[in-house]
Structure 1
């Protein structure tokens, strides 16, 4: 056998091994354009879940990749904020699902539910997704995350504290009276807004982040020129870093590490970014 043929043979045999290093990888190698795009590489569909058919939360909409050729997917439950309904966070459904996740935007039992109630509802929604939903066979029940806006963001932190087996948490302009989260063991991306007057970063997102363990994979993203309600409409910066965080920690996909470490610089859309880089592999 020639040296060239031997090298080619080695390359061919190495490919399955390298692919097997991370069985959770989904989709093509990411680029800046691919994570900023309004849609990813997966075609998606959705199904409505009536509040009458579930217990523990108020129903919602499940967005999911239509193809099962890649295997199962990680899943994320997302809660709206105080007085909000799932429509206020619905843009995240197809955007995240098209990147290779099953996404459940939920309604809460009442629009006035407080953060800790929303935490219980997020966890109930994940349990429904993995155990009873029509898409449960598409989901890897060991790879789950939570997100939420405002009081749903506070609920996200509480859900992460209550269920350390979660893989990722992202509170969006979160609100909670509790400012100490040293018991959280879930990789957490805290997203705040520099113009937030309802949950000002100085009394909410920043102390949330600071109180998370220094040994935790965590990041703090403060949006520039943004308000408390910025997460309620399509936002490229929120999507870009949420996708990167979910991919990195739910899918263990280190191809997305490049967008998180080294920490992004301040820009027209980022007022501040802090991170515990480097993340462990």
Structure 2
């Protein structure tokens, strides 16, 4: 018992008398006041430090639907003679250097197609704050597995050897592709789990099961697709992804397999939102993805998990 009393008394603060007590109280009050001042100053700075990858002004419905975002865009061509593993392409990037580095995306065309078929995505995405590489494949007949490898080769070139490598944060990368390039997008995501986002556009792949994918994936299908019907491609792609994964399925209304080959506001707005949300970790774009978009003149169906985990 004596030990308990002694321990308790040892934890009791010493009593300070008279003027000394007042001096201590004043000092404590001063420290608390400084602390309060610091706390009031923290939220803005803390929020800025919380997401150092945020780029551009706060988004609006009109800003994600616009043909161009807030960044001026430059471009540079990459000859197939200067690269290995893929067929060269065009890099689109924000001209400004004031915001530091950006996330990057490689985009593959589909079967028999060239980068010109997906070129509209280059400046549209880059103007929102990304470095975008639309590529040509080694041959126009390359299958999805090959296109997946080529997307990764393109990202490696972009981040390690390209003339814009110092503009890119190599930890924030994504892949997109149309048709067999969409199938290749899933292949790339499966092979490289560190990718931050994947978007197959009316994708085609004989492999329809993707439980190994760990990359947040937005699957885009078209209700009128007769080449890669959603029932045998996009829908099983989506449903086979892990249920714990951040994933979404956007089925375009009154669209075909080739809808992603032309400028399309619905594809652009949800691609921008997905890429911003997962490559830049920019939760300002969550509002366009959650709650889930409802069917409309341009959306046949939208499925996904909300709120997002990442």
Superposed pair shares fold, TM > 0.5: yes
CA distance in 2, matches of 1:15, 1:165: 30
Q: Paired residue for 1:121?
A: 150
1:23-62 matched pairs, under 5 angstroms: 23-62=52-91
1:1-281 matched pairs, under 5 angstroms: 12-281=41-310
Q: TM-score, structure 2 length as denominator? A: 0.87
Deviation per residue, 1:143-173 (Å, 9 max, x gap): 0000000000000000000000000000000
Deviation at 1:14, TM superposition (A): 3.1
Q: For the aligned residues, what is the CA RMSD?
A: 1.4
Give the number of the structure whose residues are more often helix, by fraction.
2
Q: TM-score, structure 1 length as denominator? A: 0.96
CA distance in 1, matches of 2:253, 2:152: 31
CA distance in 2, matches of 1:227, 1:174: 12
Deviation per residue, 1:233-281 (Å, 9 max, x gap): 0000000000000000000000000000110000000000000111025
Deviation per residue, 1:110-151 (Å, 9 max, x gap): 000000000000000000000000000000000000000000
Distance 1:8 1:93, change over 3 A: farther
Deviation per residue, 1:160-211 (Å, 9 max, x gap): 0000000000000000000100000000000000000000000000000000
Deviation per residue, 1:76-135 (Å, 9 max, x gap): 000000000000000000000000000000000000000000000000000000000000
CA distance in 1, matches of 2:239, 2:124: 29
Detail structure 1 runs of 4+ shifted over 4 Å in the superposition.
6-13
CA distance in 2, matches of 1:242, 1:8: 42
Over alpha carbons, which structure has the higher Rg?
Answer: 2
CA distance in 2, matches of 1:107, 1:46: 16
CA distance in 2, matches of 1:67, 1:7: 38
Structure 1 unaligned segments of length 5 or more: list them. none
